[in-house]
């Protein structure tokens, strides 16, 4: 940190006693991450700053973390104790390019800001559902947007990256330049350097139609059947997508069941939603709105500042698989001793065939013959005394899903990097193929010959 402070001005190197250092703690989604205390936080203003900083960190053998949106629940993913946190929050550009057909995004931008800027021009992009999520980690981990049926994973939409590699090179990476690295960046979560700019195509868009439907828990079977029908018929309406969530907020002492629907064409009469809207529901926020308004609504339902643990699995898309997931959730919610403000939440997101078949990334899902379900579960809590309770409950729920889905031949081996727990291995077999793993290792040896990223 001392060496960085000699080369960079005071407004870029922040020590624990400074207000910017303290302010940065407030943006972390996970409380455990915010409590880590790096020796300093470095905020680069551009790619040359990143290059110089990585060189200094290598020379001093200093461990570091990289923070863009700070939206991971895994402790140490975007903050560090004692080392240096490279805070990309000032690399937050949203620059429209190519006469409106593309946009350059900084990794430190948040999707709420991206949508706000693009909406002024009648544009959108394949970005995150939640407005607080940062661009960098979301895109590099894959990115599952409302445009997935139409355009695939967000990472597959990327036209060009600007990156500082572990070898301290500044590279422009695209399908025609460094194409091996271009592929490797799609889903690998920043394994190959610090990405400083991302160019993506825009979408002409004014308004979308969507919102949440809240159901009585006893009607969950009808919700599952409706979601399965929407998933299986995705090719008939690529603009329509939905996911379902259920949870136990201890404060309210009751189960909550909801679906979030989105039609990116802004069509309130889409037949794709007929089954989901016909299931009796107790509340609805369905309406025409902007993508930014939807992102704000989702952000409000997922506040910052809680202690968290989260994991993911993938299943074959069937109503039976959804029931297995839900039944294990019910058992866990009954057996867990919750604190007064704590919560268990589960989300089921369909991965449709139109989505999966567009993949050009490290995931190796393009040969799937049927749709999948992206599963995630997370506990939120306030009191550190419950840490072990919820970590053990999460592991038990994970194990129950694995055993019960495997018994019905409904478990899939792939793990989504953006949702994976620290104890899960999304970049190893069987989550990715042996061929993909070998290709990633080849790219690593080429662009990180000193193995710097794993050492620091």
CA distances from 367 to 172, 266, 358 (A): 30, 31, 10
pTM: 0.97
**Each residue's pLDDT tens digit, 407-419:** 999 999 999 999 9
- Which one-letter DSSP state was computed for residue 83? S
C-alpha of 372 from chain center: 17
Residue 2 pLDDT more than 90?
A: no
- Helix 387-407 to helix 319-335 angle (10° resolution) is 150
- Please state which of the ranges 141-145, 206-210, 302-306 shows the lowest mean pLDDT: 302-306
Average pLDDT over the chain, rounded to an integer: 96
The string of DSSP codes covering 372-424 is EEEEEEEEEES-GGGHHHHHHHHHHHHHHHHHHHHHTT-EE----TTT--TT-
Q: How many CB atoms lie within 10 A of CB 118?
A: 24
**Each residue's pLDDT tens digit, 157-183:** 999 999 999 999 999 999 999 999 999
Would you place residue 224 in the very low, low, confident or very high pLDDT band (cuts 50, 70, 90)? Answer: very high
- Which one-letter DSSP state was computed for residue 286? -
Would you place residue 456 in the very low, low, confident or very high pLDDT band (cuts 50, 70, 90)? Answer: confident
Structure-token match 């009751």, residue found = 254
């Amino acid at each position: 940190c001392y060496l960085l402070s000699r080369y960079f001005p005071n407004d870029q190197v922040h020590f624990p006693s400074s207000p910017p250092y303290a302010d940065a703690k407030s943006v972390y989604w996970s409380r455990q991450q915010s409590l880590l205390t790096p020796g300093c936080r470095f905020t680069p203003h551009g790619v040359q700053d990143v290059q110089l900083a990585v060189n200094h960190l290598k020379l001093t053998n200093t461990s570091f973390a990289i923070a863009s949106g700070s939206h991971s629940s895994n402790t140490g993913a975007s903050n560090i104790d004692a080392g240096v946190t490279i805070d990309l929050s000032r690399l937050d550009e949203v620059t429209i390019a190519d006469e409106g057909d593309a946009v350059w995004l900084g990794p430190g931008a948040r999707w709420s800001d991206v949508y706000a800027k693009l909406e002024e021009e009648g544009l959108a992009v394949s970005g995150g559902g939640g407005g607080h999520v940062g661009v960098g980690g979301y895109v590099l981990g894959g990115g599952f947007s409302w445009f997935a049926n139409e355009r695939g994973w967000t990472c597959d939409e990327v036209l060009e990256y600007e990156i500082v590699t572990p070898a301290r090179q500044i590279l422009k990476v695209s399908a025609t330049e460094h194409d091996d690295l271009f592929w490797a960046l799609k889903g690998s979560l920043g394994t190959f350097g610090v990405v400083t700019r991302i160019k993506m195509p825009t979408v002409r868009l004014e308004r979308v139609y969507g919102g949440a439907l809240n159901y009585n828990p006893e009607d969950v079977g009808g919700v599952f059947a409706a979601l399965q029908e929407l998933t299986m018929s995705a090719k008939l309406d690529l603009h329509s997508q939905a996911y379902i969530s259920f949870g136990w907020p201890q404060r309210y002492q009751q189960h909550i069941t909801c679906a979030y629907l989105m039609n990116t064409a802004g069509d309130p009469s889409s037949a794709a939603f007929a089954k989901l809207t016909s299931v009796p529901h107790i509340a609805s926020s369905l309406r025409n709105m902007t993508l930014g308004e939807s992102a704000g609504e989702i952000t409000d339902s997922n506040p910052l500042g809680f202690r968290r643990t989260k994991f993911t699995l993938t299943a074959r898309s069937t109503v039976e698989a959804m029931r297995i997931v839900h039944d294990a959730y019910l058992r866990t919610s009954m057996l867990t001793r919750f604190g007064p403000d704590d919560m268990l939440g589960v989300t089921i997101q369909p991965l449709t065939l139109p989505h999966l078949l567009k993949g050009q990334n490290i995931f190796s899902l393009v040969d799937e013959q049927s749709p999948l379900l992206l599963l995630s579960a997370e506990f939120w809590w306030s009191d550190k005394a419950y840490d072990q309770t919820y970590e053990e409950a999460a592991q038990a729920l994970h194990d129950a899903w694995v055993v019960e889905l495997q018994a019905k031949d409904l478990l899939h081996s792939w793990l989504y990097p953006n949702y994976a727990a620290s104890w899960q291995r999304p970049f190893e077999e069987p989550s990715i193929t042996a061929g993909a793993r070998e290709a990633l290792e080849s790219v690593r040896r080429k662009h990180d010959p000193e193995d710097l990223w794993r050492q620091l």
